[in-house]
Chains A and B, each alone.
Chain A
């Protein structure tokens, strides 16, 4: 294969083309060069006209949140902008950033939050970190962060109980913070991603202990049990889920995959 184009033969036409009387000068005496220049100029003009047109037709004008993810992100950002010191609001903001795959920004918000807010009672930022690890596919790190969050929440809970008084009464009535169960779910899905079905089922068990009617988690545990080879357990979970969600496609497909008629 040649490393250069064919030689430009000085054909009679080419010899004639750059006549002094021609309206074109320099390289533009060549018709091919002219066509290429027209194409390049046309592309630039078309692009600029499109951008101007997009501005005038309002396509590039911000119009407010269009999706639920954009809305959640915008509202949380506005609350933080307004000076919210509620760790849950910051945690929600991080969750929305993760949902729209803005991972670097999410990490930045976690760092900012850690620097200025106290999440000792709820482990909000550790949970956020666990979510971020999971979203980035770092499942071992996600499990580790979720473990740390659960430990932090348990210690705070026990300290509150030991302290006595009103705080202990509230801690006893309220139980462990909801983020404890959320961490169990992060661990469950991380173990699933790692193919460790037994550990995933353990975490689903822990979550369902506090929320036994969570039909979607029953389905997830049922499907994990199918993978782990526990067919009777899977059938029981999927049937329980169908009691809440009779038409759920995942549950019905799960039952069908183990040869059970709903």
Chain B
């Protein structure tokens, strides 16, 4: 079809048509360039060698792993012991090699490390917990001590306790898990109650590798080698106890022979059966999350009664898989778990379903904003502001135009009335 250029077509219309054509080309080129730039950015921030889609992790979502302080072989984590988040989401990490406490950003960037006070350096820091007071409570099993340090690694009220292997801190309590039971202490480290002795009986314990304190002050305990979970009130009275699998301490010398005797209530081969419960934490939904060292999974239990909820993860060395996870902590701000993946020599950041305890869309948005999508917030806010300003300006203009036309129409009316009045007068 031939282009029509009528003699009456104005120069302005020709300019408009050219302008539209030029801007269409510019817009197309711009969109292509932006698509290319976005693609490059996405490739830049997407980790290489992501876990395969076919990996069956039971619903566990891998976020990232942390491998070391730098790329140098000697700076890699070795036998990761613990990774706990502070209130700002920074991760504080111990391993079996460095003898220091290492600090990483939530994105996994190494910040610094310290070895404690110069006059009393840390020897073998293992499990840790942050208190609401911002202090770091570190188990030093070989020194029979809980080292209390500020964020700079300075002494802040350490105390002695026999063979501590786990610790949890609330506003008014410190709970220390030990080889023979657990202790409830005040914030000065003075005992309020000591629970248990070493053994297999009802009130006995065999390595309490996991303790956690609920919002209501309830205390949750992982009795590792007895393979039991239990809940206690703040004064040390037991609320419930469940056997979570076959105890790992069934072998004993009887009449000079090594004999294995299973506990009668051991759950063998069931889905909920744990192999060796170690570290423990509570998520925002109030559930107990346990690192099962030998099953290489995270197991979730109901805090009300210890009933089994689910298991997440799998054994292996790929990202999202575990090989002897020994401790787990939870960051409520980011709704993720930091797992000390011991034999894989790393800390893994993972998520499991239902941990936020809130509405799923809200949780999904919160989770997304902890990742690269957070960079899209400022442009989104800018877009909303621009749209709002445009709408306001348009509505003002429309109101002003309406007012003007109203004034115009009222003017005519006066004129008409005046004419009518004159006509009546003349009559």
The one of B1, B71, B344, B372 that contacts A65, using a Cβ cutoff of 8 Å: B71
Q: Which residues of B contact A100 (CB under 8 A)?
A: 48-49
A21 at the interface (CB under 8 A from B): no
The one of A17, A54, A79, A99 that contacts B372, using a Cβ cutoff of 8 Å: A54
- Docked CA distance A73–B22 (Å): 47
Q: Which residues of B contact A44 (CB under 8 A)?
A: 30
Asked whether, in the complex, the Cβ of A68 is within 8 Å of the Cβ of B16, the reply is no
Asked whether, in the complex, the Cβ of A69 is within 8 Å of the Cβ of B379, the reply is no
Q: Which residues of A contact B45 (CB under 8 A)?
A: 59-60
Q: Which residues of A contact B4 (CB under 8 A)?
A: 7
B267 at the interface (CB under 8 A from A): no
Q: Which residues of B contact A40 (CB under 8 A)?
A: 23, 26-27, 30
Asked whether, in the complex, the Cβ of A59 is within 8 Å of the Cβ of B374, the reply is yes
Q: Which residues of A contact B5 (CB under 8 A)?
A: 7
Interface size bucket, B side? 35 or more
Q: Which residues of B contact A15 (CB under 8 A)?
A: 10, 12-13
Asked whether, in the complex, the Cβ of B375 is within 8 Å of the Cβ of A59, the reply is yes
A78 at the interface (CB under 8 A from B): yes
Asked whether, in the complex, the Cβ of A39 is within 8 Å of the Cβ of B382, the reply is no
A167 at the interface (CB under 8 A from B): no
Asked whether, in the complex, the Cβ of B71 is within 8 Å of the Cβ of A74, the reply is yes
The one of B73, B318, B374 that contacts A78, using a Cβ cutoff of 8 Å: B73
Query: Hey, what's the 0/1 contact readout for B385-407 against A, CB within 8 Å counting as 1?
Result: 01000000000000000000000
- Docked CA distance A64–B93 (Å): 15
A18 CB to closest chain B CB (Å) equals 4
A170 at the interface (CB under 8 A from B): no
B121 CB to closest chain A CB (Å) equals 26
Docked complex: A1-17 residues within 8 A CB-CB of B:
2-4, 7-8, 10, 14-15, 17
Q: A49-B378, A63-B108 are in contact. Are A71 and B65 (CB under 8 A)?
A: yes
B253 at the interface (CB under 8 A from A): no
Q: A43-B30, A61-B107, A65-B67 are in contact. Are A32 and B20 (CB under 8 A)?
A: yes
Asked whether, in the complex, the Cβ of B68 is within 8 Å of the Cβ of A64, the reply is yes
B305 at the interface (CB under 8 A from A): no
Q: Which residues of B contact A3 (CB under 8 A)?
A: 1
A146 CB to closest chain B CB (Å) equals 24
Q: Which residues of A contact B377 (CB under 8 A)?
A: 53
Query: Hey, what's the 0/1 contact readout for B22-66 against A, CB within 8 Å counting as 1?
Result: 111011001100100110010011011111000010000000111
Asked whether, in the complex, the Cβ of B15 is within 8 Å of the Cβ of A26, the reply is yes
B8 at the interface (CB under 8 A from A): yes
Query: Hey, what's the 0/1 contact readout for A23-54 against B, CB within 8 Å counting as 1?
Result: 00011111011001101101111110111111
Q: Which residue of A has the minimal Cβ distance to B48?
A: A100
Q: A30-B16, A65-B67, A75-B71 are in contact. Are A54 and B27 (CB under 8 A)?
A: no
- Docked CA distance A131–B171 (Å): 57
Query: Hey, what's the 0/1 contact readout for A61-97 against B, CB within 8 Å counting as 1?
Result: 1111111111101110111001000000000000000
Q: Which residues of A contact B24 (CB under 8 A)?
A: 36
Q: Which residues of B contact A174 (CB under 8 A)?
A: none
Q: Which residues of B contact A67 (CB under 8 A)?
A: 47-51, 64-65, 319
A57 at the interface (CB under 8 A from B): yes
B257 at the interface (CB under 8 A from A): no
Q: A54-B375, A60-B44 are in contact. Are A47 and B37 (CB under 8 A)?
A: yes
Q: Which residues of A contact B110 (CB under 8 A)?
A: 64
A54 CB to closest chain B CB (Å) equals 4
Q: Which 6 A-B pairs have the closest CB atoms?
A: A69-B49, A27-B19, A30-B16, A54-B375, A7-B4, A78-B71
In the assembled complex, 7 residue pairs joining A and B whose CB atoms fall closer than 8 Å, in A order, are A15-B13, A47-B34, A53-B376, A63-B108, A64-B71, A66-B47, A78-B72
